Copies of this chain bind each other. A is one copy, B any other.
């Protein structure tokens, strides 16, 4: 597939067919992920691929219960109804539906950052994210190129302790996100809605917009 077509048609997929995702597809996704740059090329990552039904259900239960307990699902449901566009409402409703049952995806990939605290940078600092989320994006782009759907979710923030226990994570492994993976069910890849580049680009100084002629 053409590079720019992949970039411009990647979108969050939140409904999945139950069909398994073949091993070679998963490997191609991870092969792409690990090409991303990382600080000092340390490649501080592990890709935890969860296909076991009982383990996916355990993660799904923990996420649902904690998001309910925190009032997050209720808040998302309320917000959905106040959104202006039908497509935005639909995507928030689908996000709620997915958080109610993450195990609906046949695969969950949990990228873990192998954290290092240095004199200048904390393992959990924003900047440490530069050594994992680029690789995550490569993984998701590769999935889209292969016709496989993904969505970047971060309920790991709420259930980290459970993930540590369930998957026996060592002390320095930090779950960076949870990526449901599967063949799209009733959703298509395609152009996404974004604020235009001209409105989020400044030239040489904050607030200095440039005319765009191209």
What residues of chain A have their CB less than 8 Å away from a CB belonging to chain B?
Answer: 1-8, 10, 12, 23-24, 27, 30-37, 39, 41, 43, 45-52, 55, 70, 88, 91, 113, 120-121, 123-130, 132-138, 140-142, 145, 151-152, 154, 156-158, 167-170, 173-174, 176-177, 192, 194-195, 197, 200-207, 210, 212-214
Oligomer copy total: 2
Residue contact A120 to B194, C-beta cutoff 8 Å:
no
Known: A3-B3, A129-B126. A168 touches B47 (CB 8 A): no
Residue contact B201 to A37, C-beta cutoff 8 Å:
no
* A contacts with B: majority SS: mixed
How far is the CB of A115 from the nearest CB of chain B, in Å?
Answer: 8
A201 to B111, CA, bound (A): 9
Residue contact A201 to B47, C-beta cutoff 8 Å:
yes
Residue contact A204 to B52, C-beta cutoff 8 Å:
yes
Residue contact A154 to B127, C-beta cutoff 8 Å:
yes
Residue of B nearest to A114 (CB): B200
A74 to B18, CA, bound (A): 55
